[in-house]
């Protein structure tokens, strides 16, 4: 366990009844890390020592992630709800605007907040935001998305509905990260299972991938960097290409030696690229 993981998270009670836990260190412009579907505040251990000397760093656990205690029903739960939670958290922490750095569903959440309240986002980094509706923008992408739904989403949802939550998590983890990913076994998988409820609430939602329209994305003016792993799964590649096409004003790059889990698979390359982007004047 590194020093980051010995931090004691602070619990915030938001006006909408949601509890969120945060850790915070550093000085300067606020930078908020937003984890993916089966992560929590601890997901950014490989980034914390690098970013903390430059920014007022905040990492938080999204609504249904460890160690939050949120049992409220949310049958249409998705990125728009998560963005509202983040906005309310920023209010509670007296942060008017911040840099957002999100991975996977965290990147989706960051883009959702940028659309909902662009004045709150100074700059944005999103790693493979799973905006599934964008896959359908090309015939090839639609075919890949259909296969992913048939081979991963539907079997995982069936397992959740049958009460076999752990099996559902294994199916989704393998489908999202690839069968050989290190997060499929051992301690990494055990930690992911602590966040089963977060995955389940998305998987069984009636709108797990809400649409951020191309028109909404085209109106964003803050500096943006979109990143993907060169060895990512086909469904992520199809979505990423089409999201990049909808955001021509954003920078985008592929990171060698990484799949979907760019921040943990190639942390040094990720950290260098993002710091260069954030610390170089006149991005855009």
Please write the tens of the pLDDT for every residue from 103-143: 999 999 999 999 999 999 999 999 999 999 999 999 999 99
75: pLDDT strictly greater than 70: yes
160: pLDDT strictly greater than 70: yes
Taking the whole predicted model, whether its pTM rises above 0.85 is answered as yes
Residues 6+ apart with CB under 8 A from 79: 105, 108, 109, 111, 112, 209, 210, 212
184: pLDDT strictly greater than 60: no
Q: Where are the domains of the chain?
A: 3-134+210-279
Question: Mean pLDDT lowest for which of 44-48, 195-199, 269-273?
Answer: 195-199
Confidence of residue 95 (pLDDT cuts 50, 70, 90): very high
Whether cis (ω within 30° of 0) applies to the bond prior to 241 is no
**Mean pLDDT, the chain, whole residue set:** 94
249: pLDDT strictly greater than 70: yes
What is the pLDDT at residue 69? 95
What is the pLDDT at residue 180? 60
Please compute the mean of the pLDDT values over residues 41-45 and round it to a whole number: 97
Helix axes 165-177, 196-203, angle to 10 degrees: 80
Please compute the mean of the pLDDT values over residues 254-267 and round it to a whole number: 97
What's the CATH superfamily of 3-134+210-279?
A: Alpha/Beta hydrolase fold, catalytic domain (3.40.50.1820)
What is the pLDDT at residue 284? 41
Instruction: Using the structure block, give the residue that is written with the tokens 């299972």.
Output: 193
Please compute the mean of the pLDDT values over residues 187-212 and round it to a whole number: 89
Please write the tens of the pLDDT for every residue from 204-243: 999 999 999 999 999 999 999 999 999 999 999 999 999 9
């Amino acid at each position: 366990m590194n020093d980051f993981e010995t931090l004691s998270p602070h619990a915030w009670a938001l006006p909408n009844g949601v509890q969120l836990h945060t850790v915070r260190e550093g000085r300067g412009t606020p930078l908020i890390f937003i984890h993916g579907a089966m992560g929590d505040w601890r997901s950014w251990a490989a980034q914390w020592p690098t970013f903390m000397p430059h920014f007022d760093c905040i990492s938080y656990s999204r609504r249904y992630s460890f160690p939050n205690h949120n049992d409220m029903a949310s049958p249409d739960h998705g990125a728009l709800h998560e963005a509202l939670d983040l906005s309310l958290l920023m209010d509670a922490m007296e942060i008017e605007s911040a840099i957002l750095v999100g991975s996977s569903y965290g990147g989706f959440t960051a883009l959702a907040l940028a659309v909902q309240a662009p004045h709150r986002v100074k700059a944005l980094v999103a790693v493979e935001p799973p905006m599934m509706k964008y896959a359908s923008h090309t015939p090839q992408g639609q075919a890949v998305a259909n296969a992913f739904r048939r081979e991963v989403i539907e079997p995982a949802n069936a397992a959740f509905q049958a009460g076999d939550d752990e099996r559902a998590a294994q199916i989704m983890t393998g489908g999202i990260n690839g069968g050989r990913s290190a997060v499929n076994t051992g301690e990494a998988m055990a930690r992911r299972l602590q966040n089963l409820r977060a995955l389940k609430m998305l998987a069984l939602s009636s709108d797990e991938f809400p649409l951020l329209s191309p028109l909404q994305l085209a109106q964003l003016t803050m500096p943006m960097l979109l990143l993907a792993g060169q060895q990512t799964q086909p469904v992520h590649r199809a979505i990423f290409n089409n999201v990049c096409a909808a955001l021509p004003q954003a920078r985008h790059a592929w990171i060698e030696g990484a799949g979907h889990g760019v921040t943990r698979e190639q942390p040094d390359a990720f950290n260098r690229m993002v710091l260069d982007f954030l610390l170089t004047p006149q991005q855009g």
